[in-house]
Amino acid sequence: MNPAHQGSTDTTEADVGRVRIFDTTLRDGEQAPGFSMDRRAKLRMAHALEELGVDIIEAGFPQASPDDFAAVAEIARSLKAPTVAALARCMPDDIDSAGRALEGARHSRIHLFLSTSPLHREHKLGKSKQEVIDIAATAIRRAKALAHEVEFSAEDALRTEPDYLAEIFSVAVEAGASVLNAPDTVGYVTPFEITEMFNYLRKHVRGADSVMFSSHCHDDLGMAVANTLAAVTAGARQVECTINGIGERAGNAALEEVVMALHTRRALYKVDTGIQTRRLFPTSRLLAEVTGQPVPRNKAIVGDNAFAHESGIHQHGMLKHRGTYEIMTPQDVGAKTSLVLGKHSGRHALRQRLAELDHELDDAALDAVFERFKALADRQRSVTNDDLEALMGAYEDDTQAAVAVQS
């Protein structure tokens, strides 16, 4: 990272912690309409995620379908470094099929979930507080025998009574869960509230020091990434996210955004991830390819516009010092800067591009070409190198014709 792009850099290495990246592109991500992946697509993505350096890959929900079972099993057998996780309801059949699917994994995790909020307890499950606790404890004990580790997620945790949430998490620790996930299942909370909840849980869950707290945020109010970062400030050391932010409804916290926020503002958050950031852009594009869903141009970090500059004033700044308008280098995420010529561009960028095309112009010539360029840019969205060559050709013909008339 170029220090010119960073704010304060006074972090000492001893202060810096580690956040685990739990990627759920292949589970929560594919739950979004239009993003289903078959086992071949999942396997390609899983290899790309391994190369990206994620710590845990949630490969699927084996009880959901035979193909999902097969996808999880194949991923479990073929990955070397990451932990492979499989989702399961707190039901014996779900747990057993997750265990079977994960059998070949070097490191396996069964990810159990059960709703804890009053709304979900009453309307979805029809269970009392104590019944929900008992179901969770029984399921965790069963899962513990079938995988290297068990994560317990309290579905709709952020709309759950904090004291009840702390109680069910305490029982989950006693039953053998080593990761406690408090998801904002419906993307309801704000950063301040999630910080409060994580601080509360770390103080009140029995055995809190022996487990890892995890955050899993949805983007219904556009706050998934901000909430994830807020959870990190309150001690979450696993964050659940997806490539391109895909997931239920408005999606999950976007992995590339969370990672680059932690990386770019390392002095503030004081944590590292194991992500090879240069793999972010290619991994994002692979997901777009396998799902057939393009990345929006304005998507942070990986969109076509994330490092594109069309405005003359910004282009002028960029030509003098990239840090004026870029807080990260595009190379850090495997992308490239582009200075796009269009109706908002100015003379500095035009001169630069013409020089790249071997047209060195004096100021008067540049003014004349600039006038023609603006007229063209008003008629079309952007001006390409071919357009510029045509424009220069016409300008040179006109100049020669004018000289001929004079002599």
Can you give the binding site for ligand ACO, defined by CB under 6 A? 28, 31, 61, 63-64, 89-91, 113-114, 124-125, 155, 185, 248
- Answer for the pair 357, 389: CB distance below 8 angstroms, yes or no: yes
Under DSSP, the state recorded for 404 is: H
Contact 278, 334 (CB under 8 A): yes
**Which amino acid, one-letter code, is at 131?**
E
| Residue 341, CA atoms < 13 Å, CB-side half-sphere | 22
Q: How far is the CB of 218 from ligand KIV (least distance, A)?
A: 6
* Interacting partner of 153 out of ligand KIV, ligand ACO, none (Cβ under 5 to 8 A depending on kind): ligand KIV
Write down the least CB distance from residue 269 to ligand KIV, Å.
23
Which residues have CB under 8 Å from 355's CB, separation 6+? none
Give the residue with the Cβ less far from ligand KIV, 151 or 310. Answer: 151
Interactions with ligand KIV, residue window 14-33 (CB under 6 A): 28
Strand, coil or helix: 338: strand
Shortest CB 110 distance to ligand ACO, Å: 13
Task: Assign 379 to helix, strand or coil.
Answer: helix
Does position 159 interact with ligand KIV (CB under 6 A)? The reply is: no
| CB of 28 or CB of 257, closer to ligand ACO | 28
- β-sheet bridge partners, residue 153: 113, 181
Cα atoms in the 13 Å half-sphere on the side-chain side of 18: 7
Mark 116-155 with x for binding to ligand KIV (rule: CB under 6 A) and - for no binding.
-------------------------------------x-x
Contacting range for ligand KIV; rule: CB under 6 A; set: 65-73, 138-146, 178-186, 361-369: 178-186
Q: How far is the CB of 356 from ligand KIV (least distance, A)?
A: 48
Using CA atoms, how far apart are residues 390 and 192, in angstroms rounded to an integer?
A: 56
**CB nearer ligand KIV, residue 218 or residue 359:** 218
Out of 25, 97, 116, 181, the only residue in the binding site for ligand KIV (CB under 6 A) is 181
309 near 318, Cβ under 8 Å?
yes
Q: Whats the size of the chain, residue-wise?
A: 407
Q: How far apart are CA 210 and CA 140, in angstroms?
A: 16
Closest CA to 232 of 272, 266, 201, 269: 269
Task: Using alpha carbons only, give the angle 66, 67, 72 rounded to the nearest 5 degrees.
Answer: 100
76-115 mask for ligand KIV (x: CB under 6 A)? -------------------------------------x--
Q: Which of ligand ACO, ligand KIV, none sits in contact with 114, Cβ below 5 to 8 A by type?
A: ligand ACO
Closest CA to 385 of 340, 319, 336: 340
332-361 residues in contact with ligand KIV (CB under 6 A) are none
Work out whether 326 is an interface residue with ligand KIV (CB under 6 A).
no
Question: Of 3 and 33, which has the nearer Cβ to ligand KIV?
Answer: 33
Q: Do 334 and 281 meet the contact criterion of CB atoms below 8 Å apart? A: yes
CB 74 → ligand ACO: shortest distance, Å?
A: 18
> Does 245 interact with ligand KIV (rule: CB under 6 A)?
no
Among 82, 99, 183, 245, binds ligand KIV (CB under 6 A): 183
Specify the residue for token string 């304005």.
298
Find the shortest distance in angstroms from Cβ 165 to ligand ACO. 15
Question: Could you tell me the CA-to-CA distances from 72 to 35, 75, 89, 168, 261 in Å, in that order?
Answer: 17, 5, 16, 28, 30
- Binding residues for ligand KIV, per CB under 6 A? 28, 113, 153, 155, 181, 183, 185, 216, 218
